[in-house]
Amino acid sequence: MAKKKISRKIYGKLKGEYVQKSVKKRIEALFLDNIGKVLTREQIIKAATDPKTGRQPENWHQRLSELRTDDGYTILSWRNRGELKVQEYLMPHKRKRPGAGKRVRPTDSTWVAVLKRAEYSCEWKEGGLVCGLKDGDIDPVGGGRVKLTPDHKSPHSLNPDADPEDPEQWQVLCGRHQVTKKNYWDSSTGKLNTYAIVQFAPEMEKKRIFMFLLSYFGYTMSRDGRIRKKSK
């Protein structure tokens, strides 16, 4: 039996040119113009493009995630809504979660101390390697220019009163690793966000996982890449 669809899928439109000062503000304006409608990746990039220089934003996805986490907007994707495809997004209403974005930040002098300790580079460690990207570098993985920001080492949910004066509680992260860190834990359930881990894994790891899943679900791949269900 086919599941009844709750809402009809209506696609949004760009309403003129978006001339707000920042990428985030332009994306916000586009969503507010299209409450309850589906917006595609292409539309978001178009609206977010710098109206003066015509430059396409490098980190639009990060700005989108800030609208959720810092501004408290609800923005749905295929992960929350079955009828949405990958790269489609929907803001169902314009209400903001109260209290969003009230994150503790280190004081200016603490941040300087943290930056010094980190030698002004991202401190994310993975497989024994430190990221090491510096402010203004081009991120070789995510593309775009690196902006270093403070990260509270233990999750805010566990320690909301992080000491803004204590450099030990903070680390320096690049934008990509800020997102990676958030995605490692599903904040509502405390579980690992398996999908995000796979998404951020290096290509070789993805291949291994892909082959594992094929075999797990009973498929085989021939040399020319054709996938077939194993007959029992």
Q: How far is the CB of 160 from Zn ion (least distance, A)?
A: 25
Residue closer to Zn ion (CB basis): 149 or 193 = 149
Q: How far is the CB of 129 from Zn ion (least distance, A)?
A: 10
Residue span binding Zn ion (CB under 5 A) among the ranges 22-30, 113-121, 169-177, 193-201: 169-177
Which one of residues 118, 122, 162, 179 is an interface residue with Zn ion (CB under 5 A)?
Answer: 122
Neighbours of 104 (CB within 10 A): 15
Cβ-based burial of 82 (10 A; exposed 0-12, middle 13-18, buried ≥19): exposed
Q: With binding defined as CB under 5 A, does residue 63 bind Zn ion?
A: no
Binding mask 128-167 for Zn ion (x = CB under 5 A): ---x-x----------------------------------
- Dist. CA 163–CA 165, nearest whole Å: 5
Residue closer to Zn ion (CB basis): 29 or 179 = 179
CA distances from 117 to 59, 61, 90, 121, 157 (A): 27, 29, 41, 9, 25
Q: With binding defined as CB under 5 A, does residue 200 bind Zn ion?
A: no
Which one of residues 111, 174, 179, 200 is an interface residue with Zn ion (CB under 5 A)?
Answer: 174
- Residue 27 phi, psi (nearest 5): -65, -40
Residue closer to Zn ion (CB basis): 28 or 151 = 151
- Dist. CA 86–CA 222, nearest whole Å: 27
Q: How far is the CB of 146 from Zn ion (least distance, A)?
A: 7
Task: Judge whether 164 and 105 are in contact, CB under 8 Å.
Answer: yes
Sole residue written with tokens 């194993």:
230
Q: Which two tokens stand for residue 23?
A: 């990428």
Cβ-based burial of 58 (10 A; exposed 0-12, middle 13-18, buried ≥19): middle
Residue closer to Zn ion (CB basis): 92 or 132 = 132
Residue closer to Zn ion (CB basis): 118 or 133 = 133
Query: How many chain residues are in contact with Zn ion, going by CB under 5 A?
Result: 6
Task: Judge whether 151 and 106 are in contact, CB under 8 Å.
Answer: no
Which one of residues 124, 144, 162, 178 is an interface residue with Zn ion (CB under 5 A)?
Answer: 124
Which one of residues 43, 177, 178, 179 is an interface residue with Zn ion (CB under 5 A)?
Answer: 177
Q: With binding defined as CB under 5 A, does residue 179 bind Zn ion?
A: no
Residue closer to Zn ion (CB basis): 126 or 165 = 126
For residue 160, the one-letter residue type is P
- Residue 176 phi, psi (nearest 5): -65, -40
Site for Zn ion, rule CB under 5 A: 122, 124, 131, 133, 174, 177
